[in-house]
Chains A and B, each alone.
Chain A
Amino acid sequence: MRRLMTAGALALGATFAISGAASAQDCPVKLGAILPVSGPMGQVGERISNTGAFAVKLFNEAGGVKGCPVEYVLRDTQGQSAIGVDAAKSLVDLEGVAALIGAVSSGVSLPVLTSVAVPSKVVQVSCCSSSESFTALAEEGKTEGYWFRTYATNRSQSAMGAKLTVDSGFKKTAVIYVNTDFGVGLAKRFEQDIAKLGGTITSSVAYNESQQSYRAEVTKALEGEPDSLFLIAFPVDGATITREWLALGGTDNLIVNNSLRSSDYFEAVGSQYLTNLVGYDSAQPRLASVDTFNELFEAEFGGPPDGPGLHSVFDAVNVVLLAMEASDEITGDNIREGIRAVTADGGTEVYPGVEGIQRAKELIAAGEAIRYVGATGALQFDQNGDVQAPKMTWKLDGDENVETGYLSTEDVAELIKMLDAN
């Protein structure tokens, strides 16, 4: 019993020593990030985190928030909700972060939102959570406006996947999807959408992450002799599946979701096998702001921003930091209002990069309205914190992925309306 007490006292002392005072107004201004940098989503999460840190770095070069440097504090969620929730609470209580960026998977973002962000009145902006549950929660008023996401929901993804498949002329599609909330939801929607566009599904097979081989799943999916494969996966497992699919005689007509738009995937499979691969992603709208981001990214990381969530996390960080800049006092409620204020119609447009942020700060100091137009374009949040985004389709040309089509936000909305109507 005494050992227990000593251990407890030591732990308590250590926590006091490490945490110090957690006050939101002092310099530096802390921005918390809860992202899966290890685990099955590790590759994706790591790049997203680095991009978020890059956005913070640029903002600091432009002078920081109200003259204070911004500190990017990252906690790994490992893709597990209990860990994510604890990490978020630690960031809010012990680090005193003013806002949270994260998480990636909806199964982690939602618990964090309900048990940490909303009770502590901390704004949470996710780059990547696509579940429709957030919209439902917001509509019931349970998010109290503290939730935003810079990533469009699953709905537009399945619509794009179905349209791309049917437009490419495929009639019998097999579906292999990752058995998580993301994959299952998307696969189900895809089946509904493709039926409405006149295509058929030969089989739909789920796979569990982080396995060495997927021969069983691939063999099952090959039944019915499909003329195409819709693959919903992440780079590592997606590559394993693709290789086994091709090795077992599957067609090389592949349609893939946005998370496979990644050089990790192309290299792991070998781009010579992916000549008939097509995919979709949220589009970077044809705006100067996007080119600016692409250039900045390329200069910093030595490669194009071709992974999922990179553009959206960059914008998530920027709108939060701009909202802080535009607030008298950095509180959750002010940031909540500020995010809408800095993306509202009618403000003077400001773009990413050090000059853009400096200009934004000058305008804010002069009391003028700004409108941030970023890596995902002129983003705007509806009353539930959701964004709409234009979409694009792409294919591989040698080792490069090239755009083959573009649907504006209105086009995507029309497509979804048409599919929902039937």
Chain B
Amino acid sequence: MIGVISYLIFFLILALTFGIAVMGLNLQWGFTGLFNAGVAGFLAVGGYTHAILTGPARDAVFGGFELPFVVGLLGAMLASGLVAIVVGLVTLRLRDEYLAVATFGIAVSIQLVAVNWEYVTGGTLGLIGIPNPSKGLADGPLRQNAIYLGMVVLVAVLAYVGLQRIVQSPWGRVLKAIREDEVAAASLGKNPTRVRLESFVLGCALMGLSGGLYVGFIGFVGATDFLPIITFQIWTMLIVGGSGNMKGALLGAAVVWGVWTGSGFAISKIVAPEWQAQSGALQAVLIGLILVLTLLMRPKGMIGEDVHVSRHAADTT
């Protein structure tokens, strides 16, 4: 019983941490129509920044400022946001598939920089000893993880509330206008390029926050934490949960992460070890199947888009 609760807490920490990144992607894709295929790269920037700011000082490696946890998270958001500004200025003129390819390439580049820039990122050794604030506040993994879950829930709620306010504001309406018909929006005097950049940067800042929370929990960051498969996972979470809806983003994170890990658990229980290599491949098929079926049969996702014209318009839509 305790074991189940302990596991669920751990599961939820990861699901919600990813959920924050999914909300960021939702802002970019669900509301603004930006196809960001470089999610893993921004998670990496946030994760490494948090590690550099909060980690212990080491000789061979830059950083180790031993700053407080919250400072690390804010720094992660800032760093991801800055990288997003640079990337955005260069790529946001591109559309759809070109933007996807460009952002994907950037994410791979960021991962390679992480592997090779030893002085800053620890290179292949990564950065060890990142402090987890819950360790000092309680004893034993159950209590510590419960505390960390509380922190993640708080951050997720803050992000959710903040994002809901933003997308239901005039600025949020411009996002949707750009997504639907950019020429019309421009002709009405809106500045699509600038608003797209703002949306991109904000979304990436959230991804950085997610990366920081992940690294703060695990206590270690390495280049193989942020491979392209993570981009795929975050995207699947958004599609399945429902793009254009922040609740859908969080729900999708929990559901997809649950299916991914739950199918691993089921395979481990049902299939004999010598056959698990084959069933591992089946697991990949299962995830792909869920994604394709969602796109075919329920493209809105589990919760469809939350159509809101204005907070002040009550329920007249």
Contact = CB atoms under 8 A, between A and B. Distances in A.
A115 B8 CA distance: 15
Contact of A90 (B218, B251, B261): B261
Contact of B4 (A94, A115, A119, A188): A94
Interface in A45-72: 45-46, 49-50, 53, 72
A108 B218 CA distance: 11
A214 to B, nearest CB: 16
A16 interface: yes
Nearest to A78: B280
A184 B224 CA distance: 12
Interface in B116-139: 116, 123-126, 128-129
Given A50-B274, A132-B125, A181 B115 contact: yes
A38 interface: yes
Given A18-B265, A53-B274, A107-B126, 7 more contacts: A19-B3, A37-B277, A38-B281, A80-B229, A85-B14, A133-B125, A206-B112
A81 B115 contact: no
Nearest to B267: A76
Contact of B277 (A18, A42, A75): A42
Given A38-B280, A75-B268, A86-B10, A181 B4 contact: no
A142 interface: yes
A4 interface: yes
25 contacts: A11-B262, A15-B8, A37-B277, A42-B277, A53-B274, A75-B264, A76-B277, A80-B227, A80-B229, A81-B225, A82-B214, A85-B218, A86-B11, A89-B10, A90-B261, A93-B3, A94-B4, A107-B222, A110-B222, A111-B222, A115-B217, A115-B219, A140-B129, A184-B124, A206-B112
B105 to A, nearest CB: 12
Nearest to A80: B229
Interface of B: 3-4, 6-8, 10-11, 14, 108, 112, 115-116, 123-126, 128-129, 140-141, 144, 214, 217-220, 222-225, 227, 229-230, 251, 255, 258, 260-262, 264-265, 267-269, 273-274, 276-277, 280-281, 283-284
A120 B141 contact: yes
A256 B281 CA distance: 29
Among A12, A15, A82, the one with the most B-chain Cβ atoms within 10 Å of its Cβ is A82
Interface string A99-123: 0000001111011001100011000
A87 B261 contact: yes
Contact of A181 (B8, B224, B229, B269): B224
A181 B217 contact: no
B124 A181 contact: yes
A115 B132 CA distance: 10
Interface residues of A, number: 65
A270 interface: no
B280 A37 contact: yes
Main secondary structure of the interface of B (DSSP, over half): helix
A180 B227 CA distance: 10
A118 to B, nearest CB: 9
Contacts of B277: 37-38, 42, 45-46, 49, 76
B125 A42 contact: no
Given A73-B268, A82-B14, A179-B115, A94 B141 contact: no
Given A38-B280, A76-B283, A93-B4, A114 B220 contact: yes
A274 B140 CA distance: 54
A142 B128 contact: yes
Contacts of A75: 264-265, 268
Contact of A82 (B112, B116, B230): B230
A142 B55 CA distance: 14
B99 to A, nearest CB: 22
Contacts of A142: 128-129
Contacts of B11: 86, 89
Contacts of B264: 75-76, 83, 86-87, 90
A94 B112 CA distance: 36
Contacts of B6: 89, 93
A180 B269 CA distance: 31
A12 B277 CA distance: 28
A83 B260 contact: yes
A119 to B, nearest CB: 4
A83 B261 contact: yes
B212 to A, nearest CB: 15
B124 A131 contact: yes
Nearest to B269: A18
A110 B274 contact: no
A195 interface: no
A381 interface: no
B224 A105 contact: yes
A95 to B, nearest CB: 8
Contacts of B284: 38
Given A105-B224, A119-B141, A37 B276 contact: yes
5 tightest A-B contacts by CB? A38-B280, A107-B224, A181-B124, A119-B141, A93-B7
Contact of A11 (B124, B220, B258): B258
A402 interface: no
Among A114, A137, A142, A188, the one with the most B-chain Cβ atoms within 10 Å of its Cβ is A114
Contact of B7 (A38, A78, A89, A140): A89
